[in-house]
Chains A and B, each alone.
Chain A
Amino acid sequence: MTRALTGFTALAGAVLFLAACVTSAPVEEADLVVEEAEVEVLAPVLDVTVHEGDFARIEQFTTPGGISVWLVNEPSIPIVSFQAAWPGGSASDPAGLEGLNTAMIYQMNEGAGALPALEFQKAMESLNMSFGCSSARDWTSCSASMLRENADEAMALVALAMSEPRFDEGPFERFKRESEVSLAQRETNPRFLANEAMEAALYPDHAYAREMTAESLAAITRDMLAAQKDAIMVKDGMLVTAVGAISPEDFAPLIDAALTGLPAMGLHDVPGPLELGAPVADPIVRDLPQPQSLISFSAPGLQRDHPDFFTAYVLNYTFGGGGFESRLMEELRVERGLTYGIGTWLSYGGELAAWSGRSQTKNESAGEFLTVLKGLMSEIAETGITEQELADAKSYLTGAYPLAFDSNSAIAGNMMDVRQDGLSVDYFDRRNALVNAVTLEDVNRVAGEYLKPENFTFVVVGEPEGLE
C-alpha cells in the first residue's frame, strides 16, 4: 500500500517461513561469448547516454520502438532482471469493481498464446526464468528475471504474455476461490483491521479507502480482464528499468519485442485529491481476541516534493525510524520493556502523505504504552532534538546509503522508485547532500509542526486495557 521511507523494515511476526522455493529451470550451457558477439554485429546503433553515478552506472536509451529504458549493465553474475511499470493501480478500480486490477495481473503469467497456464508455467521453469505482475495502489508493474544465456527465449515468453494473455476461465475461477479465502482471513488480521479503521477515520470516501469485498469480487467477470489490461498496460507513461549482464544493444530489441505491441494510450480512473479528516482525539479500538494489542498511529505527512521533505526524513530517524537509535525504541523497548519493536515512517506518493508508526504491546500495558508514546511525541515537538542526534541521523543515513546498492535487485528497485517519483538520473548522487543540508532549526520547526500528539490518530487492535 504505502512506501516506507525508513532505514529499518518492520517485520512480520511469522514464526516459520514456509514459502515455496521460487525455482526456475534447466540450464542449457550455451556459449555466451559467441552469442553476444553475434547479436552485436546485427544490433542497430543506439543512442545511449551514460550516467557515471557514484552508486550505479546508468545507461539511458530509447529503443528503436520508442521505449525509454534505464539499464545498469552488471556483468559479474550471469542474470538479467527487467521491470516495467504503468501509472494506475488498485485505487483506479471502478467503484463496485474493487479487485479488478488484481484479477487482471493475477493472470498475466497464467497462460498466453497457445500455452495454457500449466504449459506457460512449465515453459518458464524450463528456461529458469520468472515473470509476474503486481498491482500496487497507484502503479501496476511486471517484472522478469532470467539467465543471460537464454535471455532471448525468456523475453520471447514475456512478449507472448504481454501481447496474448489468455485470461482463461480456470485461473480466473481459481483467483476467485483464493480471494474468497483471503477475504475471510483478513477479518482477523490485526494489520488489516488497523488500516481499515485508520482509513475509515481519516479518508473514508476516498478511493484509497476502498478494498475488495465479496460483492465487488462477485461483480468482476472474466470478460473485463482484457479491457483492464488495455486500460493500464499502455505505452503512454510506461517506465522500464533493467539490471544485469546485458548491453543496451542486446537488450533493446528484446524489450521492443515485448512491449511495442501495447496500446499507445489507455483510460483509467485517477483518484482525486485526498483531504485528510481531522485527527481523532480518542484511540479507536477494534476488538480482537489476542494477548497483545497492535497500536497503529498516523498523522499528516509530507509529499516527496515538499520543501521540508528531507528535513522530515532525517527527523524520522531520531523519532522512530532509526531502530535502536530512535527515541521511541529507546524508551518503549530498551528502558521499559513494553514492546519487541516500534517503527515510524513517512508514506508519500499518489494523493496521500502521512507520518505513521506501528508497535505491539501486551493488552495490560496498552494504556501505559499510549501515555508514554504521546509523552515522547510532545517532548520532541516541544523541545526538538539535539545537535548530536541530528549529526547521528545524518551520519547513519548517508553512511548506510551504499548498502542500498549491493545487489542487482536492489539497484533495479531503486531505479524504478526514482523514475516513478519523477526524479532525475543523478538523484542517487545528490541524495546524501540533501540529507547533509538539513539544519537543526528546520528539524525542530518540522517536529513542532508535525509530531504533536494531537496530530495523530491512534488505532488499537486487540483487547487493550487502561485506555481512557
Chain B
Amino acid sequence: MLKRLIGATCAVALIGGAALADSAGEAWAPETFSLENGMEVVVLPDHRAPVVTHMVWYRVGAVDELPGKSGIAHLFEHVMFQETDDLAPGELDEIVQRNGGQLNAFTSWDYTAYYERVAKDRLELMMTIEADRMRDLVVNDDPEGPFISERDVVKEERRQRIENNPGAILFEQVMGELYPDHPYGIPVIGHMDEVAALTPEDGLHFYNTWYSPDQAILVVAGDVTAEDVRPMAERTYGVLAPTGTDTRPERGWGEVAELAESKTLTHTDPKVRQPEWDRYYLSTSFIQDDELAYALQVGLDVMGGGQTSLLYQSLVEDQQVAVSASSWGWMTLHDRAPAGFSAIPAPDVLLDDLEAAFMAEVEAILAEGLSEEDVERSRNSLAAASIYGRDSQSGMANLYGRSLATGASIQDVLDYPERVKAVTAEDATAALRAVFGPDKNYINGRLLPAEETFQ
C-alpha cells in the first residue's frame, strides 16, 4: 500500500556495494552507461530470481522548492501517478499491477525516486510507462479535481506521519532551529498551510522545471545485464530530448551556517507517556567531507552504535539511568547533516539527570579517546554490512540510486568497505571531537508528558 512515502533519510550506515569477493571468486560489480540525452544508467546484476527492480531517480527534492511552496516536491510525486496523454486516470497502477508489478515512489530533501518491482520480461513495459510520465504527464487543472483530492490525501498523510506523533512534531521544530536558513529546516511533506495552498499551476511549473532525462538516473537491479538494458533504455528513455535546461535553476543545496547559540526545545503532549531526550549537532556528509564522514561513522558506531557501545554500556548497563542510549549521524544527506544523541530514561529517572549523566559520559569518551580494539571491531562490522546488504535487490538499487542522485560516484560506493577499514582510532576520536566538542552549539529536544510531573 502506501504509495508516495516521504523523505525519511535512513540514519543507518551507508552500506557499501560489493568489495569483498564472492565465494565464486569473481568480484561483483555494477555496469553503467549513459544515454545520449544525458540520462545515466546503472545495472546491478543479481541472477538469483527472474525479477527486476526498476527505478528512476530525479535530481530534485524538497530543497528545490520555491519559498512558500513547501511540500510541492512530494505532492507532485503523488500527481505523477495520475494521468498522461496515453494513460487515463488510474491506468498506470492498473497496468503495472495487472502485470504482477509492485510500484511506489518516495521524496526526500535531496531526491525523488519512482520504482517498480516486476518479472524481468515486463521490464520494457515499465520503462515505457516511466518514460511516458517523464515527458507527457497531464496535470489536471480542475480546481475541484484530482490534484485537489490528492492534496487532501497529502494532508491526511501529514496528520498520520507528523501531527498524530509527538516525536515527529518535536523533530520538525528541532530541524527548523538547526537549519534556520537552509531547506533542511523545512519538512519534506511541507507545512500544512502551505500544502493546503498548492495549486495545479505549482505542480506544472515544478514538472516543467525539473523532470527531464538529463536530470534522471535509471537503476535496474536484478536478473539482467547492461547488454539487455541498453537497447530497451534507448528505445524508451533515449528518444526523449532534454527539456527545461535553459531555465532550470541550480539545485537548492547550500552552505549550512554554524548555530549561533545552543537551544532547548520542549514539546509537551498528553500522548507522551515516556519522556525522551535528543541532542542535535551539525556534522558533515559523505559529499561535503568524506574523510571526516568515514571517521565519524566509525566513531559514532563505537560511541553509541548498539549494545556493545560505550554509551549503552555506561548509561544503560552500569548507571542504569536509561533504557536506550545512542549516537547517530545521517551523513548520506548531501549537505551538512545532523548528528547527535538520543536516550530514553529508565523508570523514575528525570530527564535533566539523564541529560547530565549522558553528557558527562560523552565528555569522558572525548577526553579519553576510542580504543583500537573497539574501532577495529566497528570498522569491520561496517565493512561487512556491505556483504549482507547484497541480499536485498531493492536495497542495492536504493543504495546506488541515492548515492548517484546526491552526487557520489559508483566508485565511491564500491570503495566504501575499504575506506571504512582505513579509519584509525585517532581518526575516529578526532572526528567525534570535531563534531561534539565543548565549543559546539546544539539543539536539545525534550519530549515530555503534558502533566507538570510524571510518575
Contact = CB atoms under 8 A, between A and B. Distances in A.
Contacts of A21: 12-13, 301, 305-306, 382, 385
The 9 closest A-B pairs by CB, nearest first: A399-B100, A337-B152, A26-B380, A23-B381, A337-B149, A8-B1, A324-B93, A340-B157, A15-B168
A336 B149 contact: yes
25 contacts: A8-B2, A11-B2, A14-B165, A15-B165, A21-B305, A23-B306, A23-B378, A25-B377, A77-B387, A121-B308, A128-B380, A174-B316, A174-B320, A188-B273, A291-B164, A325-B97, A337-B151, A339-B153, A341-B2, A343-B1, A360-B159, A399-B119, A402-B49, A407-B392, A408-B48
A20 to B, nearest CB: 5
A119 to B, nearest CB: 9
Interface in A417-438: none
Contacts of B376: 26
Interface of B: 1-3, 5-6, 8-13, 20, 22-25, 46-51, 81, 90, 93-94, 97-102, 117-119, 122, 146, 148-157, 159-165, 167-168, 171, 222, 270-274, 301, 305-308, 313, 316-317, 320, 323, 326, 328, 342, 344, 346-347, 376-378, 380-385, 387-388, 390-393
Interface string A53-89: 0010000000000000000001111110000000000
Interface string A378-414: 0000000000000010011011111101111100000
Contacts of A118: 307-308, 313, 317
B124 to A, nearest CB: 15
B149 A335 contact: yes
Contact of B160 (A13, A18, A399): A13
Contacts of A334: 90, 146, 149
A133 interface: no
B249 to A, nearest CB: 28
A329 B317 CA distance: 47
Interface stretch (A158-166, A176-184, A257-265): A176-184
A18 B1 contact: no
Nearest to B82: A334
Interface string A285-313: 00011111000000000000000000000
A458 B91 CA distance: 32
Contacts of A74: 48
A341 B1 contact: yes
Nearest to A398: B100
Q: How large is the interface on A (under 10, 10 to 19, 20 to 34, 35 or more residues)?
A: 35 or more
Given A9-B1, A19-B11, A392-B98, A292 B388 contact: no
B433 to A, nearest CB: 22
A16 B445 CA distance: 15
Given A26-B376, A180-B347, A406 B1 contact: no
B129 to A, nearest CB: 14
A360 B326 CA distance: 32
A291 to B, nearest CB: 5
A323 to B, nearest CB: 5
Given A13-B161, A291-B164, 12 more contacts: A15-B167, A20-B306, A74-B48, A77-B391, A78-B22, A128-B380, A292-B163, A323-B3, A337-B153, A392-B97, A402-B100, A407-B48
B271 A288 contact: yes
Nearest to A288: B271
Interface of A: 7-11, 13-27, 29, 32-33, 55, 74-79, 117-118, 121-122, 125-126, 128, 145, 147-148, 170, 173-174, 177-178, 180-181, 184-185, 187-188, 190, 245, 288-292, 322-325, 329-330, 333-343, 360-362, 392, 395-396, 398-403, 405-409
A128 B1 contact: no
B186 to A, nearest CB: 14
A360 B1 CA distance: 13
A27 B333 CA distance: 28
Contacts of B167: 15
Nearest to A119: B308
Main secondary structure of the interface of B (DSSP, over half): mixed
B339 to A, nearest CB: 12
A14 B270 CA distance: 19
A77 B3 CA distance: 31
A400 B97 CA distance: 8
A20 B326 contact: yes
Given A7-B102, A290-B271, A396-B98, A78 B156 contact: no
Contacts of A408: 48, 391
Contacts of A24: 381, 384-385, 388
A395 B98 contact: yes
Contacts of A7: 102
B426 to A, nearest CB: 19
A396 B94 CA distance: 10
Contact of A323 (B1, B99, B388): B1
A399 B6 CA distance: 28
Contacts of A396: 97-98, 100
Contact of B8 (A14, A190, A330, A362): A14
Contacts of A338: 152, 156
Nearest to B392: A407
Nearest to B316: A174
A400 B96 CA distance: 10
Given A10-B2, A27-B383, A291 B159 contact: yes
B271 A403 contact: no
